[in-house]
Amino acid sequence: MPGTRSGSDGERELQERFGTEGRAERFYSDQVLDRLNQPMIDFVRRMDMAFIATSDRYGECDTSFRAGKPGFLHIVDNRTLTYPEYRGNGVMASLGNILENPHIGILLIDFVRDLIGLHINGTARIVEDAALRGSVSDLPPPERGRAADRWVVVDVEEAYIHCRKHIPHLVPAAREARQWGTDNVRAKGGDYFAAKGAALASGS
């Protein structure tokens, strides 16, 4: 990060151990920003999916998937972005982690056009929909008639490229109509991984 020492203590230790300090310093210097520049902002605005990493106060991790129309990741300014949280399974794993530990990592990957990725790391907070709309006038309207329950607001601390070397090229295909905001087991995927009952059995 410009003006500060980039990389964790663990990164630095392994760079020294394996002799990669020079390469790492070039990456930190050339690619790691403490804000979103205009090409990054343009990239975020056209993304329709994101992978969200959080952990609780003990470091127990969770990775979740979020998706929506391009622009669902809303740029507030070059140091702030936000995304909506809708009614889900009620577990609230990501939000629960954020409540305990605000650190968040977002990975955006363009699998279709440019085959490139963007990492965004920062700190997050939970804001109710009405409160955020009172301060951010250009938030996107409710999608498919569903209003967000709340938003995750992210203060950007690091932003950097994910190289295209191993990103597969995917071609979007038409999907059958989806049921949004439903508790229908079949529509949500049911017990696809045959976990029902197995979890109880393993805990006995």
Between CA 32 and CA 123 the distance in angstroms is 16
The reply to whether 94 and 148 lie within a common domain is yes
**Three-state DSSP state, 50:** strand
Report how many domains make up the chain.
2
Q: Are residues 122 and 87 in the same domain?
A: yes
User: What is the average per-residue pLDDT within 181-198?
Assistant: 71
Helical pair 21-31 and 9-18, crossing angle rounded to 10 deg: 140
pLDDT number for residue 88: 81
* 170 shares a domain with 74: yes
Q: Do 123 and 163 belong to one domain?
A: yes
pLDDT score, position 204? 46
Same domain, 24 and 65: no
- With 0.85 as the threshold, say if the pTM is over it: yes
Residues 197 and 129 in one domain: yes
Residues 17, 97 within the same domain: no
In terms of residue numbers, what domain contains 14? 1-31
pLDDT grade for 89, boundaries at 50, 70 and 90: confident
